[in-house]
Amino acid sequence: MTPKEIFIVVMIVLAVVCAIVGIGVLALAITKYFYRRWIVENSVALKKLRAINAKYVFKRVEQRKLTQEYDAKHNYDNVSPKDYLIYQLVYLQHQLKNDFASAKENIETYRKYREEITAECSVVDYENVKWILFKKYAQKIERNLLNKVALKPETRVTIIVELYHVNSNHILKSRKGETFYEDEIISLIKRVGNKRGNFYQDREIWDAICRVERARVSNRMRFSIYKRDGYHCRKCGKSGWSHYLEIDHIIPISKGGKSTYDNLQTLCRECNLEKGSKIE
């Protein structure tokens, strides 16, 4: 045989093999479709499961996602996902307590639900049918259907924290994130609650809150403050053309001050160093 004839024979063989495989795949898909449809209509287990589903109501447990953008690289680098979670727990802890209670209730209800399913929903049980072709194949399809129909309530609280470093046009430059689970969240809430007046007794908690509070002064906010103050130090009056200007917290963060416009002012570096942590 010539190379050309060999090539033609090989191509014909490949075409036949592909056709056979294609027919086999199609036949399998058709078989699966009809088996699935027949099982949906005749499965006693599926009908019992739907009846059981109608008896149970689970609490809603919100799975939270906290996000924050930073347009200043040093702010983005200074704040960790855990820092940001701690800061938000100051405000979210009461809502989360409701979520924890709902999750705990769901765990107990779900246990009873699964026990009833195990007792009532036996696989391969069809109305008025004693024998079925490819019983193991039907059993596999029915298990998949039971798994899809079964209720899957939220039984634990999770919080996803994602922080983004963006440019002035809010175009993403980098991101970092972490997922926190119930045990760690509860532990952090207890530590956040350990405070005297407005001050937190746990040093790690206090440092995390301070880092996040400082990072709230974005580049956009910084230049807005400079513009408001006419690019002059509000203490000595020197301009930014001849002296390095900085943003100062009038009431320092260490004394409970916030990063809000009314608590921020423009100071030159010398005046800011002289002021330190005093309230002026």
Mean pLDDT per 10-residue interval, the chain, length 280 residues: 67 76 73 74 85 94 93 94 96 89 95 92 64 68 88 94 92 95 94 84 92 93 93 89 84 88 93 82
For residues 208 and 224, state if they share a domain: no
Q: Is the pTM of the predicted complex or chain greater than 0.85?
A: no
For residues 118 and 221, state if they share a domain: no
What does the pLDDT read at residue 163?
A: 97
For residues 125 and 187, state if they share a domain: yes
For residues 10 and 77, state if they share a domain: no
For residues 51 and 108, state if they share a domain: yes
For residues 123 and 203, state if they share a domain: yes
SS3 per residue for the chain: CCHHHHHHHHHHHHHHHHHHHHHHHHHHHHHHHHHHHHHHHHEHHHHHHHHHHCCCCCCCCCCEEEEEEECCHHHHHHCCHHHHHHHHHHHHHHHHHHHHHHHHHHHHHHHHHHHHHHHHCCCCCECCCCCCCCHHHHHHHHHHHHHHHCCCCCCCCEEEEEEEEECCCCCEEEEEEEEEEHHHHHHHHHHHCCEECCEECCHHHHHHHHHHHHHCCCHHHHHHHHHHCCCECCCCCCECCCCCEEEEECCCHHHCCCCCHHHEEEEEHHHHHHHCCCCC
For the chain, the domain total comes to 3
Domain boundary residue, one of 215, 236, 255: 215
For residues 61 and 133, state if they share a domain: yes
What does the pLDDT read at residue 7?
A: 63
Domain boundary residue, one of 193, 215, 237: 215
What does the pLDDT read at residue 49?
A: 92
For residues 29 and 62, state if they share a domain: no
Structural domain including 270 reads 217-280
For residues 195 and 251, state if they share a domain: no
What does the pLDDT read at residue 63?
A: 87
For residues 174 and 69, state if they share a domain: yes
For residues 155 and 235, state if they share a domain: no
For residues 172 and 267, state if they share a domain: no
What does the pLDDT read at residue 130?
A: 58
